[in-house]
Amino acid sequence: MDTSNGTEAVDATAVTEGLRTYLTGALGREPGPDEDYFALGLVTSLFAIELVNFVEQRHGIEVTVDDLDLDHFRTLGRLRDFVLAKTASRGAAA
């Protein structure tokens, strides 16, 4: 689907499924949309860095220092919302 400025719209379902697949592999089980895998101790600080790198590479976005708030990354739902907001702002800047 194209937006009015010619950029491809990001599909929320596809973003969710891609993130779910990545997180399932990393966690060894499928996370619920609001399950805080950091609070549950399922991941390490190294994983946080890997997660940021995955999101940047997979979605072609830049996670800035200002974006490095754990609240953006702690659940599948929050991570999806973060990716959708960053990709939307990327499209608006085009």
26-36 tens-digit pLDDT: 999 999 999 99
**Mean predicted lDDT score pLDDT of the chain:** 89
> What is the predicted pLDDT for the residue at 6?
38
- State what percent of residues in the chain have pLDDT above 90: 83
Q: Name the CA dihedral angle for 52, 53, 59, 60, rounded to a multiple of 10 degrees.
A: 120
> What is the predicted pLDDT for the residue at 90?
75
**CA separation, residue 6 to residues 15, 79, 85 (Å):** 20, 25, 18
pTM equals 0.85
